[in-house]
Structure 1
């Protein structure tokens, strides 16, 4: 299959199908999330209502026990058994609710709808007997039903008993489950309707795109100066105008790219031109001319090598193995960099060693970045000027910095100097890649390069994250 055939091959899924599928998924996810949220909230409200009803039953029973009288004697109840029997006779439990009376003698009494899973199982009785002394509330699963109940123990001398209010949570949730099923059916129908409507709308909205594609297929990469005719004021006409504007931007972008390639070619071609020119005028018989030309050519070769090396470093910054992190003791690294940097030029070198702190970093790349900053400080200062190397440790980051007392960076160049081929002044003999490399090294470590606001001189900071390592 040729490139042209692959370019014009019909996609497996059309844009209309993908839009419809996306709308369908979003609608289904949205309605599902709403249903789930409603179910969770209503379940929580249901549990709260059950707890409130159980608490209310206990309050009513306690009030009856304190203020009620035995209808046979007209006096306060003399036994827990009699109190429980009268209370059950006079109170009717609510929906899905049952009252039980556990007495010293006789069977367990209940009021409400008979539930064989409670009256015929030993597990429920065992749970109540476990709370006969201290009382309390708990939940249990008996068979396929969940129950929530509260136990209120009674002690009248040696007479003991317990009042138990039980809620069938499963039965209470049936109405909620029915509501959820109804919502599911309605949400499914709504999703299908939305999918149908979105398909029709998407097909209608994308019709101008189809027409524009047909008209624009004749434009090739070599005909960027060609424009489509736009007439009218509808969406298609506006889309064509936008497409023409895009062609304008593409044409401008290609022109900018060509200009960039010309500039980069000039930077790489200049050293070669200098080499060729001096070799052409070299007088082999003149020893002095040979020596001068040799020195000049070696200098240009060095400049060309540095330019190639800088470009290679920038090209490698996108590789995953550009940084090989390991535990680095900042003070040790700083001392090593200081020993190397002090040989860059006769300056008043000084160092500010921080307390012991370890970070995860590539020591070779950090040394390369710090030496680049130190070299910049040497190039912009005079002999005997103070240059200080130091580090500051914060809670989340560590700053490696180089400070000098040179002329500083003009305000309008503070951002330019970090761009590729950017220079602080036209007199700068460098390639404008040094700070770009430093910035790339910092970004590869997850950090950044900062330029402090200083009255005199310049202070560049290499800010790096602490990572998992802390103070030792």
Structure 2
């Protein structure tokens, strides 16, 4: 049974926007939870310590009053009567909002301060039974005790006087549960505020990240519609003040380069096809018209076909060389002696044509370059000069060090302090200003010199070699007076 070729639909995962917001909210929530737990844990601990301290202070006050004696005693004679001691203690000690007291003498209630305004009642059987159980003569015992709806922290302090045989007990209790309830109420308030903070942060973050990440959405839409047939789509950038927008800007620049490269390739293929079509048409036409029985016609056709094939081979070789110029190994750098390079160029240029060659090598030292590529470029310039000048005319070839001109600085990406300038100057036909840029393009030729043999790839090869050295080529030309080509090679890479 044949398998279905329908592609599986991949489930939509969370977007970057949702992931970022989720991460921020999770971290914010964890931070608020940790902060709340620590804060309220500290408050509960402080409450317990404060209650413990207050109970101990009450016991210290009773014992201090007992030792100090009645206020009207001139010699601070200690209290001799438990009843009088408890009365004096309850006179100066007022129970707090969550506090209640009870004093007992021999198990019977002596004093109950606070009247009907007491927060809770200690004079009940349950409390007295707990007091009787915890009471230890001469000691103060602190314990937790649940009374009705109150969670009490209570101290049972034994009180005895030297002149009184009765057993006194002071009971002080603080409603710790009520105070803990107040803290728990703050916990609820904090939780609501924290929840509101998370919700507001989530809503605000969703809007803000949506604006920040909008270029990513546009980028996704753009990449879905871009193909080799249409590279005009671009990502709209509303602001370039963040990394995401900068990414979209970089993507647009990449598309600009791709579009230019694809257009250049298409133009290159069109031009190559056009240039190759002519010799192929000539070859086919002559072969069709050739008289097989006429030996002279066969020889003439053979010579013409071979000549056209040689021209096609040169054209293909030049095309391959231009294609190779895009590779990193097109130029192989090595130290080159400038004077030796100049003398080598002089020897080779003299063999090109019957011209008055004026060669001067004024530069010395070494340069990091590809010797063979430089020779190839300069000889190509010299061959062009010979091609477009009269026999016996003067052609100058110079090798100098020079500072970069404004035109050079505009054309190179990383300027150098000085350049090795390889100059070829002729006194030939010159080039019209409107054609000065076109002749450096592939298959670009001057309209006034179409009859001169050539493929239109010589100068593009020279430019490719110069750019491979991070340099450039400049032209100064006057129609009817001649042209000056300068190849600028940086002295320091």
TM-score (norm 2): 0.47
TM-score (norm 1): 0.49
